[in-house]
Structure 1
């Protein structure tokens, strides 16, 4: 029993923390939090076998342990390296790590289209955050970028392989959450791509979770595609009685319209466990089909980091100021002299943007859109 309760002391960026044996350096750093935790694009704590592919979490081990104080000769992937008692690790305090991480970011962006202005993942993209915090201002790559055609993986998911960084997360989700995996990595080297074997559609009750685990905009929700920007929506926590999953989700709303439904995320961008302690994966019914506010029990605004662009306009605990116009007018209510819809006929009130099929265009409001 004494051995099972023994904790290892590991020092990361001059901060010491105690963790159980078998803990990886990355999870030990996440226990400290903040900038001490290395970024990770492929590691996902809820998915077995993930990690060791993107190399963004490289750290320098300056002391192996108390018994063997020799440093490790090369930078190591913190998501695959377990701690030892007395280990000392350098992350943001190591010039080697900072330089290597900038090189990894440059490699990840070599074939990336950089189409953030039209990408639905903009504003919550891990690659955006990674390049902003750890990348360089320019690139040395002068050759043609790798491109692929867009592929529909069923009627609810679209694959934009040109944006993919081959993190394998969606493959692990299909392996571990669904009954039968029908997509994976095809070809090798520069031609490697996520694809279905014989142009199959992905039909499974939990296959929509590949959208939540994708760190970039390679896998997008077609029911939300080009509908709105995430920083214009308000994320709220909600739940419902679902026979297939926990039903604990995050609604992305604008006014009373539910534009999309996702699983709840923690501070590391991973799907958060439910209140009962189970994994927070959600089913396709909750994700794609429950787009009315009456389908859900609203719990309240989601906790958003103030560093995120989504936090703009996301005020929690703020009281609405009292309307004083009626008092100024002596108790009389203001009259509506003009209804803008009678004149412009733009954004007709009977059209809900979250329910239309495809992006909102002038054809939608002019009534000339063809089904």
Structure 2
């Protein structure tokens, strides 16, 4: 099937979604994703971050779709024409989505371990607004321990369901899920039952924000001060392919390897993630490939060539020239003191 996205035409297999087709073209065309996670079946269709405009449904029926559609669950049709970054309507809608996601989200970035790897930070940076219109109090929750290795900070959760799908499809038994409805919905366990199985740590990797955090890594370092390297070991439970994060000569955390979309390639076991924190436990392959626009690349590459449109636009609109004709007579007493 032929599909055109932002004036770029490619051929894809039947059953391909607009999101998958856009990713085949490249990162400059692919819509953002907060809930969609390709390795997890059934994910997507919840956050509306990936809304796109279909200006022609297909070659047989070229009528446009009346509303914006989520690209992660909408399959392409032969001759379909899609607008993503080229549509002002799409960009305006995403501003609204960002505003909704931030309704109850606290400004924890200065203390959140997810800072620098947070998909919500990236989404807000690219499509967000600089002001909030809400005056109501935010929903607040107390931090909750979900076992010996995982802590849940529900204040930051955006209800993407990724951790629920991970527990359903990767682990042997799921004991947590989404409780209640509407604005009372929250991720929780029944009577705070601990999440305890060999692959439970993967819910940390799939979380797009800092809601599920590694208790062995909390507050140890900022991600842009670390040195990530790819490594592997012989493990009987998982692939053993991981990323080691160094602070000096110390391994401060271990995560699964992720692709260019921030999705886990191979889920790893808790033994590799939490218990193997020595270099001697691993065979080092080399530095992790870091995208140049990522904050993780700080002090590792030169200046980024990618300049997001949103911050430049905000700077142009809000920053003003300094008036140099101000009265400086108040400086005279200071000169006399010198």
Alignment check: 8 A CA contact 1:234 1:314 kept: no
Residue 299 of structure 2 corresponds to residue 283 of structure 1 = no
Residue 73 of structure 2 corresponds to residue 52 of structure 1 = no
Deviation at 1:256, TM superposition (A): 1.3
Structure 1: runs of 5+ lacking an equivalent:
1-7, 273-279, 317-371
Question: How far apart in 2 are the matches of 1:39 and 1:307?
Answer: 15
Alignment check: 8 A CA contact 2:175 2:189 kept: yes
* Structure 2 partner of 1:165: 158
Give TM-score scaled by structure 2 length: 0.88
1:201 paired residue among 194, 201, 205: 194
* Structure 1 partner of 2:264: 271
Structure 2: runs of 5+ lacking an equivalent:
303-338
1:130 paired residue among 114, 123, 138: 123
2:296 paired residue among 302, 307, 310: 310
The SS at the match of 2:134 is coil
CA RMSD of aligned residues (A): 0.9
The SS at the match of 1:118 is coil
Question: How far apart in 1 are the matches of 2:169 and 2:58?
Answer: 35
The SS at the match of 2:55 is strand
* Structure 2 partner of 1:152: 145
Deviation at 1:114, TM superposition (A): 1.3
* Structure 2 partner of 1:16: 9
Give TM-score scaled by structure 1 length: 0.81
Residue 184 of structure 2 corresponds to residue 191 of structure 1 = yes
- Listed one character per residue, the Cα deviations across residues 200-250 of structure 1 (whole Å, up to 9, x for unaligned) are 000010010000000000000000000111101000000000000000000
1:294 paired residue among 262, 277, 280: 280
* Structure 1 partner of 2:34: 41
Question: How far apart in 1 are the matches of 2:175 and 2:27?
Answer: 38
Alignment check: 8 A CA contact 2:52 2:83 kept: yes
Question: How far apart in 1 are the matches of 2:245 and 2:218?
Answer: 13
Question: How far apart in 2 are the matches of 1:59 and 1:171?
Answer: 26
The SS at the match of 2:28 is helix
* Structure 2 partner of 1:322: none
Alignment check: 8 A CA contact 1:236 1:298 kept: yes
Alignment check: 8 A CA contact 2:35 2:46 kept: yes
* Structure 1 partner of 2:312: none
* Structure 2 partner of 1:330: none
The SS at the match of 2:191 is coil
Between stretches 32-41 and 115-124, larger displacement belongs to 32-41
Aligned residues, how many? 302
Question: How far apart in 2 are the matches of 1:144 and 1:35?
Answer: 37
- Listed one character per residue, the Cα deviations across residues 138-190 of structure 1 (whole Å, up to 9, x for unaligned) are 11111100100100001100000000000000000000111111000111111
Question: How far apart in 1 are the matches of 2:68 and 2:51?
Answer: 6
Question: How far apart in 2 are the matches of 1:221 and 1:70?
Answer: 49
Alignment check: 8 A CA contact 1:106 1:136 kept: yes
* Structure 2 partner of 1:360: none
Deviation at 1:17, TM superposition (A): 1.0
